[in-house]
Amino acid sequence: RRKIRLLLIVTGLIIIIAGSVIGFIQRVNVREKTLGRDFNLIGKLEADFIGGSLNDVAENIRLETQEVLYIEALGQANLSYSGVDQHAIERDFFVKDKEWVTGGASSPFIETYLNTKASNMLKKYSYENKYIKEIFITDALGGIVAASNKRSDFYQADESWWKSAFNNGKGMEII
């Protein structure tokens, strides 16, 4: 009788333990599936929100760049190349780029680009829009015209993003 009781107790404990382990594993699996599904849904909602926010920012930038002040500054910069030899333009970019990289934000050369009316409007626009940390305008050859802050270099036409955005003079949005 003792052996039978002991056998029944051990068998009962094994069944209880096995049932508990199986129940635990099932709860973990259900929790993982539920959390995975919820995280997936949250990720999709966040992506939609961010995508919508970026589209709003892009539309605001489109409207902002229609400001006459920007168009005039860009027109003046592009006109400055009229009748100038290509080699002279390249030398000028080389000199400006070197001075830009080595100069501080308060150097007179850099201030001519960062303290214009157009640059001040870009600074204000960047400050008022939490998604924009930096915004700048380049001319048709890739030189800085106006900027919200100092970029790493003056000449942008050697950057792959600039080539894509310039799109052989047709222009293209790059976000």
* Tens digits of residue pLDDT in 93-130: 999 999 999 988 789 999 999 999 999 999 988 888 87
**Alpha-carbon distance 44 to 87, whole Å?**
51
- pTM (2 d.p.): 0.65
pLDDT confidence of 169, banded at 50, 70, 90? confident
CA distance 70 to 118: 6
Residue 65 token pair: 């760049």
Write out pLDDT tens, residues 28-64: 777 777 767 777 777 777 766 666 666 766 666 666 6
Rounded-to-integer distance, Cα 4 and Cα 7, Å: 5
143 neighbors 76 (Cβ within 8 angstroms): no
Which residues are CB-neighbours of 149 under 8 A, at least 6 positions away? 105, 114, 123, 126, 134
Rounded CA-CA distance 67/56 in Å is 18
